[in-house]
Structure 1
């Protein structure tokens, strides 16, 4: 059996001479979905009262976004290689805007969860944005651009804790989704204006078997991580989900290696799987630390939005300090994009530690 060779595109576009507008357009797109990861955390008590939910049920407002994003990021990232990164980036942001509008006017809890699933598709903006940077920018501009995108991934999740508390206190939780809709529309307009059109590679029909196995593996693994605290880590439900995830991932690797046109080229270092796995690893660490949805839901149910803002402020100080120390050790002290990337890596863990300390689970 011959190894899979990615389709070669003979019409390679010229790199963009001025990278600034392209990088900022992509950074705002990444910031849009990154904000929505934690923007609703301070509003969970209000949401629970509005829809008459208990703490565990309210936590699913966050978990549905997590699950949808874990599935959408690798699949849409791989489809972007095949049909054009810019096209798939606009499609994922379109889902985000539609989901934000539906959530803004959601009359019921079920409608809100469906809207959050649509919003979760925007997680694919990160791997798609990185792919655009690699294909359309000059090699000298790529490290800084990747640093800015990674920095936005962490900065947005941290800033959203403060913004969400302020908006919930003074305007109301529904306005949180208007922020998402405005950010999504702005990023789409900037991408249409500044990001060059990607050259699709084609490559045959979609690998449906690989997509199904990947979806099952990601969903079962994240469900096990998010429900571990509630069900018990040694419970039959959690162990069954972990076993199903292991089997699904093993089958996915076998299917992809045997496929003529795989969903993901697992042998390629430049595969969108690397960028997608970065998003997924951050989400897994956050889920494991916080125990979504139970720890977030119970913590938010026992604290006001004002205390959430205070916790987020301490989180910022701890995150910046640890990031600067790591930057100096790695020789990145003069590179702001590099420091932003390091801050992104520590954002989730710092946020989790401060919320758990300030909002004890009861």
Structure 2
């Protein structure tokens, strides 16, 4: 691939008149999507009663979102490259609003699952937003803006949890989804009026066969991983789905290598910079889940256990909320480090900070302020890593492939999180302590999960060391349109 910078004349895109407004609106859209992911957490234990269904069936309200997001993210990213990233961003937000309204009107299981699946289809908003930024923002704004957009996932999740818990404890649970619908409608209106459409398009024909194959493979894999604990890891259903995933994804990969216009350009994905960035993303996604699983349980378990703190879900949200603010601040610091040293160094620093946070948690876990401190340290590391990942991806792919490449990277993080959920569930189910006749996860079980989280972060650091490092190039000043940042241009393979 050529190392020359993309010119406005090449892209046909003009710089927006209000870049600050564009960044703010896209970040808001990312926060709204991340709110959708945490919205249901406070009411999960109550769903069987609220929907008059069994706990195993109501779990599909969470699983449906996971599956829909996994399928939609790479497909919508590719459609964005073909037909317009802003257009697909708006369609994704419409799906979010529709799903929220369906859930807000639901009083039984089936419409709740349908609504949550529609919400999951909006998961591509963040990678699409990052791709829009690359196409329309001036060069000097790109690094900080993409870091903020990437961090919006964590910011929305951290700030949304206490709000959702407060609403769930004091008001009708349907208000959670009406609020999501209103915020989604606001995001839609702002994107429509403020964000310009990028003219960077690939055109061509959509790879429907590749889309169906990838969807089938991912659904099989994630069902086996997410439901294996309920069905039994050695059950015929779990093993059959795992085997089907391997066969389908292998056939899909062969098809992608042969297709003239593939859904995912595997040859680009195999470039060292893209490959090791995606591997680091899987490891980071794996690492991130440990915090979202361990800290809430430690806070909510009875204090009589000797290690639980006996706090409410609202307190859990308040403890985790500062992490979102830390991530927002550190995304700006991440951008400065990326400009000075390159995104590879930023990613390595972030991975080490995350590992340090988990190591600290093994020692400090007996007071509320301990967990606030730990969540903030880990949040600082996430702010670094989430800012570096899109810069590394965009530095290695053509502008016309940005949507698909960023979406695939987001999917890699999600896969890592799903694998971590399964492994942590097995560990905490095996390492238990008896409490009043109930088997609760033991203190050592939590420490093992945190140690694995630290190890996964160190694995991400190891992957990052294999990312090619290029000498920084001078950025070409932007004129009437967007250009790539120096670090992005220099990083191209």
For residue 270 of structure 1, report the CA deviation from its aligned partner.
12
Q: Distance in 2 between matches of 1:15 and 1:267?
A: 31
Q: Give the equivalent residue in structure 2 for 1:231.
A: 231
Question: Residue 12 of structure 2 contacts residue 200 of structure 2 at CA under 8 Å; is this kept in 1?
Answer: no
Separation in structure 2 between the aligned mates of residue 308 and residue 31 of structure 1, nearest angstrom:
21
Partner SS, residue 268 of structure 2? coil
Larger mean Cα displacement after TM superposition, 178-187 or 239-248: 239-248
Q: How far apart are 1:361 and its partner, in Å?
A: 6.3
Gaps of 5+ in 1: 1-8
Deviation at 1:284, TM superposition (A): 6.5
CA shift digits 1:55-111 (9 cap, x unpaired): 222221111111101110110010000000011110111111111111111142101
User: 1:158: how far off?
Assistant: 2.4
Structure 2 residue matching 1:141: 3-state secondary structure: helix
CA distance in 1 between partners of 2:132 and 2:231 (Å)? 41
Q: 1:281 to 1:101 in 2, by over 3 A?
A: farther
Using the TM superposition, give the Cα deviation of residue 321 of structure 1 relative to its aligned residue in structure 2, in angstroms: 8.4
In the other structure, the counterpart of 2:84 is 84
| Corresponding residue for residue 12 of structure 2 | 12
- The aligned counterpart of 2:312 is 307
Mapped pair 1:213 → 2:218: no
Aligned residue in 2 for 1:285: 286
- The residue number in structure 2 matching 1:244 is 244
TM-score normalised according to structure 2 size: 0.59
Question: Where does residue 5 of structure 1 map in the other structure?
Answer: none
CA shift, 1:261, in A, is 1.3
Greater shift after overlay, 139-148 or 245-254?
A: 245-254
Task: List aligned pairs for 1:165-244, cutoff 5 A.
Answer: 165-199=165-199, 201=201, 203-244=203-244
Distance in 1 separating the partners of 2:247 and 2:288: 21
SS of the residue 1:14 aligns to: coil
CA distance in 2, matches of 1:235, 1:286: 27
Q: How many angstroms does 1:192 deviate by? A: 1.0
- Is the aligned partner of 1:142 residue 2:184? no
User: 1:252-267, aligned counterparts within 5 Å?
Assistant: 252-267=252-267
1:282/1:360 Cα in 2 relative to 1: closer, same or farther (>3 Å)? farther
Alpha-carbon deviations, 1:124-175, whole Å to 9, x = none? 1012111101111122211111111121111222223212210111112101
Aligned counterparts, 1:125-164, within 5 A: 125-164=125-164
| Distance (whole Å) between structure 2 residues aligned to residue 344 and residue 182 of structure 1 | 27
1:167–1:360 CA distance, 2 compared to 1 (3 A): farther
Measured on the aligned residues, the alpha-carbon RMSD in Å equals 4.3
C-alpha distance in 1, partners of 2:325/2:236? 40
Query: Which protein has the larger Cα radius of gyration, Structure 1 or Structure 2?
Result: 2
Unpaired segments of 5 or more residues in structure 2?
Answer: 1-8, 303-309, 338-344, 354-378, 388-412, 433-438, 443-493
Cα distance between partner residues in 1 of 2:78 and 2:203? 11
Contact 2:158 2:322 in 1 (8 A): no
| Count of residue correspondences | 337
Q: Would the aligned equivalents of 2:42 and 2:313 in 1 still touch at CA under 8 Å?
A: yes
- How far, CA to CA, are the matches of 1:135 and 1:10 in structure 2? 11
Matching of residue 43 in structure 1 with residue 43 in structure 2 = yes
| Corresponding position of 2:22 | 22
Residues 152, 344 of structure 1: 8 Å contact kept: no
SS in 2 for 1:122: coil
Q: Is the 8 A contact 2:220 2:242 kept in 1?
A: yes
State the Cα distance separating 1:341 from its structure 2 match: 2.4
Relative contact order: is structure 1 or structure 2 higher (C-alpha 8 Å, sep ≥ 6)? 1
Asked if the contact 1:96/1:118 (under 8 Å) is kept, the reply is yes
Whole-Å Cα distance in 2 between the matches of residues 96 and 344 of structure 1? 23
Offset of 1:244 from its aligned partner?
1.7
Contact 1:152 1:340 in 2 (8 A): no
- Give the distance between the partners of 1:182 and 1:138, measured in 2 at CA: 31
Mapped to 1, the partners of 2:181 and 2:385 lie a distance apart of 26
